[in-house]
């Protein structure tokens, strides 16, 4: 509804607009939750196969924290928002940036993390 208020002068049919926005939001949220569930299932399966659970989780958390610390502040903030399940629009609003800037920072952060992980695996 708050988004509708910001678009009020250009929205021809408010009820249809809200219905469409709400449907799209639910669809995106559902897909995101499904991806997170699938990812978490694979992490749980890997950790059960490779090491004791408590030690493995602690090491994964420390490793992830070290990886995130290699990122510039804005990229780190964007990745944190992604981990919290926020959309790019929500992250942009909280950081005071445009959604395009958030998407670019997300792309740069993912590339940097991929390179960092590849470098660690090479060692």
Tokens of 46: 């890997």
Are 91 and 58 contained in the same domain? Answer: yes
Query: Which CATH number covers residue 122?
Result: 1.10.10.10
Q: Is pLDDT of 48 > 70?
A: no
Counting beta carbons within 10 angstroms of the beta carbon of residue 79, is it exposed (0 to 12), middle (13 to 18) or buried (19 or more)? buried
**What's the rounded mean pLDDT across residues 36-61?**
51
Q: Answer yes or no: do 101 and 43 share one domain.
A: no
Helices (H), 1-123: 2-7, 14-50, 53-69, 73-83, 88-95, 99-122
Shared domain check, 56 and 46: no
The overall average pLDDT reported for the chain is: 77
- Write down the pLDDT at residue 11: 80
Range of the domain at 61: 52-123
Q: How far is CA 20 from CA 11, 14, 15, 26, in A?
A: 12, 10, 9, 10
If asked whether residues 33 and 65 sit together in one domain, one would say: no
Categorize the per-residue pLDDT at 54 as very low, low, confident or very high, splitting at 50, 70 and 90.
very low
Same domain, 22 and 59: no
**Residues counted in the chain:** 123
- Compute the distance between CA of residue 92 and CA of residue 100 in angstroms, rounded to an integer: 8
Predicted TM-score (pTM) above 0.75: no
Who wins on pLDDT, 111 or 58?
111
88 shares its domain with 75: yes
Count of structural domains within the chain: 2
Domain end (from 50, 66, 90):
50
CB 36 within 8 Å of CB 85: yes
My answer on whether 69 and 35 are in the same domain is no
- Is 95 within 8 Å of 102 (Cβ atoms)? yes
At 104 the pLDDT is 96
Nearest CA among 85, 77, 79 for reference residue 28: 85
């Amino acid at each position: 509804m708050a988004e509708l208020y910001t678009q009020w002068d250009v929205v021809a049919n408010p009820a249809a607009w809200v219905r469409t926005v709400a449907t799209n939001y639910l669809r995106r949220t559902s897909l995101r939750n499904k991806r997170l569930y699938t990812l978490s299932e694979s992490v749980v399966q890997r950790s059960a196969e490779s090491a004791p659970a408590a030690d493995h989780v602690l090491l994964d958390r420390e490793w992830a924290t070290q990886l995130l610390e290699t990122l510039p502040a804005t990229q780190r903030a964007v990745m944190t928002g992604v981990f919290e399940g926020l959309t790019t629009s929500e992250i942009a609003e909280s950081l005071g940036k445009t959604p395009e800037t958030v998407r670019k920072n997300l792309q740069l952060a993912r590339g940097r993390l991929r390179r960092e992980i590849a470098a660690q695996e090479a060692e």
